[in-house]
Structures are given as structure tokens and as C-alpha cells.
Structure 1
């Protein structure tokens, strides 16, 4: 995730980050500029169309559809941001559950071996979940003395959760945990799987294809028809105007595409790796 100062206007305006939509759209912007110049040449120099040409009335369509495209893009952006923010809340919940579980176990367990096990396995769940959501490999995780071989044919976070629950149940059977204490930590144990399931729901349920494809086609047709009418009032100045309009509209769609899946490795995705590292730090402090 990009770290930045929200008050630094100069950096926002003049600095081009590698995740900036300007860089991604630059080839298409050159194409749109060349296309607009070609249409301008045909109408003004080749066909010599005058102010009375009916082609000029195409701008009526743009005026009618401008409101529609703004609504679509606003809804698209808001929907994508809701998914991003929900993902952040889920990982915040995982942080709290990990801390609460560690705090409860720290007050219950006296055996150093048992405390050491939970000190390593609780952060491991966040680590494996982060890899699982980002589709990264984690075949053999060497986590500070805790060796866990991940079976890729099975659900990876569930394998870690199973180890945590099995250990808790073994402690109950041996008398190290009472039934009341097992129920006391059950909420946190259950919340791990709840967070994983909710994150998978976001990741595995993208915006419907028809909706996303329609917006892209709408933007393309809208922009490609702009030069036909505005060339009569702007002349060759229509080139930078159309390019700028395309940049604004396409950028909104690109931003929405990037943040609707917040668990990847894009610049604007959630810093899940950093959050997992913080969970490890805090849990080790509590159970250390």
C-alpha cells in the first residue's frame, strides 16, 4: 500500500507514482489524441463541414448521457471502495481477535511450552491467510521454530485453525483448560474462520462481468464520438480536450478495478503483510 502525506498537494500534482493511472493510460491517450486529430482533419480540411452540419448536433447525445455515465462511475467507484474498506475492517477484526486470544491465554496458561506454541501459531494464521488471499505459495512455513507443512490440496488457513483448535481441545482433555475457559476463548477461535470466509467472499465474488464490460464499452463509445461534434467549436483544440476527458473517465474505472480486490499485491491494495507482521509482534509481546 502506498504511504503518503494527505496534505502534500505538490507531490500529488507533479509526482507520477508507478501506480498512477496516467502511466497505465498513456498509450491509449496517444491513440485517442491521434484519432481525434484524424476526425478533426476529415471534418475541417477534407469534407469542409460548416456550422450548419447536422454532425454538430451529436453533442446533444453527450449532454443527455453525461449524467448517466457520471452515475454509473460514481456507483462503480463506491462499490469498489466498499469492498476495500470491508476488507480493512475484517483484517482489523483479525488483529483484535489475535490480541484478545493471546491476552486470555496469557492469563490462563502457566506451562511455557503451551504458551510458546500459541505464541507462534496465532500469528501464523494471519501469515498463511495473507498468502492464501494473495495466491502466494507457502508450502513449508518456518515460523521461528514452528514447522508447518501446508498441503496445497486442502484449504491452507483451515489447516492452521485446525491445529489451534486441536491444541485447545487437548489442553481441555488434559485438564490444563477447564470447560469454562475453553468457552472463554471460543469466540476468538471461531472469529478466525469467520474473517477468512468473509475475505474469501470479497475475493471470489467480483463485480458482475456484464456490468463491468458495459461501463468500459460506454466510456469508449462516449469518448470516440466526442470529436465529431466538438470539432466545430474547438477546432484542433479538441485533441487535448478529448484526451483529458478520456483520462478522467478511464481513470475512475481503473481505480475501481484495482481496489475491488484489496488482497493482492497492487500498490493500492491493503497492507496485509504488514498487518500480519504487527500481529506477530503483538502476540509475541503478550505471550513472551
Structure 2
């Protein structure tokens, strides 16, 4: 995740980082600029359409559809950000539950071997979950047309959670903890799997294809029709205007695409590896 100063306006305006949408869209912007220039030339110099031509009235359509496309993009970006923020809340819950688990065990356990076991296993779960969510196969498990050779009995986060609960149960059987203490520890042990399931839901359930495809087509055809109407009033200035409109609309869609899956290697994805390292540091301090 990119670290930045939220109050440094000039850095935002003049700096183009690796994940900036301008870099990604630059080739398409050049093509749209050339297309707009050709349409502007044909209307102004070649066709020489009069001011009372019906083609000039196509801007009425742009005015009506501009409000619709803005609503769709607002919904799109809000939905993507909700997924990103929910992923952050899940990992925040993992941090808190790991701390609570470690605090309770540090008080309950007396045997140093048992303490060493949990000192290693609690941070290991966060590390394993980080690797699990960064696996591309995890995002394909709900697709019917993808045949994955996955042994679900080797679901690594589940195996790690099972080992934690198995150890707690062994402590109860060996009379190292009481039944009441077993119940107290059960909530944190159960929370690991619940957090994993919530993260997997975000990972392997993308935005519905029909919605995403329609929005891309809407943006494309909206921008492609802009030069026909605005060439009358803007002349050759229609080129930078259309390119800028496309940059704004397409950038919103690109940003939404990037943040809707917060568990990855993009610059704006959640720093799950760093969070896992912090969990390890905190647990080792407690136990």
C-alpha cells in the first residue's frame, strides 16, 4: 500500500506513480485523440456541416446520459471501496483476535512448551492466510467453467486453525486448562475461520460480469460519440476535451477494478504481509 501525506496537494498533482491510471490509459488516450481529430476535421473541413445540422443536436443525448453514467460510476466506485474497506476490517479483526488470544493464553498457560507452541502458531495463521489470499486459484474457486485440481482437505488456513483448536483441546484433556477456560478460548479460535471465510468471499466473488461489461461499453460509446456534437462549438479543441473526458471516466473504472480485490500485489492493495509481521511481533511480546 502506498504511503503518502494526505495534505501534500502538489505531490498528488504532478507525481505519476507506478499505479497511476494515466500510464495505463496513455495509449488509448492517443488513439481517442487521433479519432477525435479525424472526426473534427471531417465535420469542419470536409463535410462542412451547417450550424442548423441535426448532428449538432447530438449533445442533447450527452447531457441526458452524462447524469446516468455519473450515477453508475459512483455506485461502481463505492461498491469497490466497500469491498476494500471490509477486507481491511477483517484483517483488523484478525489483529485484535490474535492479541486477545495471546493475552488470555499468556495468563492461563504455565508450561513454557505450550507457550512456545502458541507463540509460533498464532502468527503463522496470519502468514498462511496472507499467502492463501494472494494465490490466484483462490479467486477461481466459484467459477463453474474453471477446473481446478485443488485438494480441499489441504486448505492451509483451515489446517492451521485445526491445529490451534487441537492444541487447546489437548490442554483441556490433560487438565492444564479448565472447562471454563476452554469456553473462553473458543471464541478467538473460532474467529480465525470466520475471518478467513469473509476474506475468501471478497476474493472469489467479483462484481457481476454483466454490470462491469455494460459500464465499459457505456463509457466507450459515450466517448466515441462526443466529437460528433462538440466539433461544431470547439473545433479542433475537441481533441483534448474528449481525451480528458475519457481519462476521467475510464480512470474511475480502473480504480474500482484495482481496489475491489484488496488481496493482491497492486500498490493500492492491503498490506497483509506487513499486518502479519505486526501480529507476530505483538504475539511474541505477549506470550
Q: TM-score, normalised by structure 1?
A: 0.93
2:67 maps to 67
Once the two structures are superposed, the pairs formed by residues 1-288 of structure 1 within 5 Å of their partners are 1-135=1-135, 154-287=154-287
- TM-superposed CA distance for 1:33, in Å, is 0.3
Deviations 1:108-134 (A, max 9, x none): 001111000000000000000010001
Instruction: Give the secondary structure class of the aligned counterpart of 2:10.
Output: helix
Note the C-alpha offset of 1:49: 1.2
Within 2, Cα distance between the matches of 1:184 and 1:75?
42
CA distance in 1, matches of 2:180, 2:63: 67
Q: TM-score, normalised by structure 2?
A: 0.94
Distance in 1, matches of 2:183 and 2:222, equals 60
Post-superposition offset of 1:215:
0.3
Moved over 4 A (4+): none
Evaluate the alpha carbon distance shift between residue 136 and residue 278 of structure 1 in structure 2; reply closer, same or farther with a 3 A threshold.
Answer: farther
Partner deviation per Cα, 1:190-218 (whole Å, 9 max, x = no partner): 00000000011111111100000000000
Distance 2:154 2:248 in 1: 44
Deviations 1:222-242 (A, max 9, x none): 000000000000000000000
**Post-superposition offset of 1:152:** 7.9
| CA positional deviation for 1:62 | 0.2
Deviation at 1:136?
Answer: 7.2
Q: Distance in 1 between matches of 2:39 and 2:264?
A: 41
* Superposition deviation, residue 36 in structure 1: 0.2
Deviation at 1:52, TM superposition (A): 1.4
* Alpha-carbon distance in structure 2 between the residues aligned to 1:93 and 1:152: 25
Distance 2:61 2:136 in 1: 47
Instruction: Give the distance between the partners of 1:115 and 1:278, measured in 2 at CA.
Output: 19
- Give me the whole-angstrom Cα distance separating, in 1, the residues matched to 2:234 and 2:45: 14
Distance across 1 between alignment mates of 2:135 and 2:73: 29
Count of residue pairs brought into register by the alignment: 274
CA shift, 1:153, in A, is: 6.1
Matched residue SS, 2:154: coil
CA offsets 1:246-285 (integer angstroms, 9 cap, x no match):
0000000000000001011111011111100000000001
Alignment-derived partner of residue 141 in structure 1: none
Unaligned 5+ residue runs, structure 1? 138-150
Q: Quote the offset at 1:156 in angstroms.
A: 1.1
* Aligned-pair Cα RMSD in Å: 1.2
Runs (5+) with no aligned partner, structure 2: 138-150
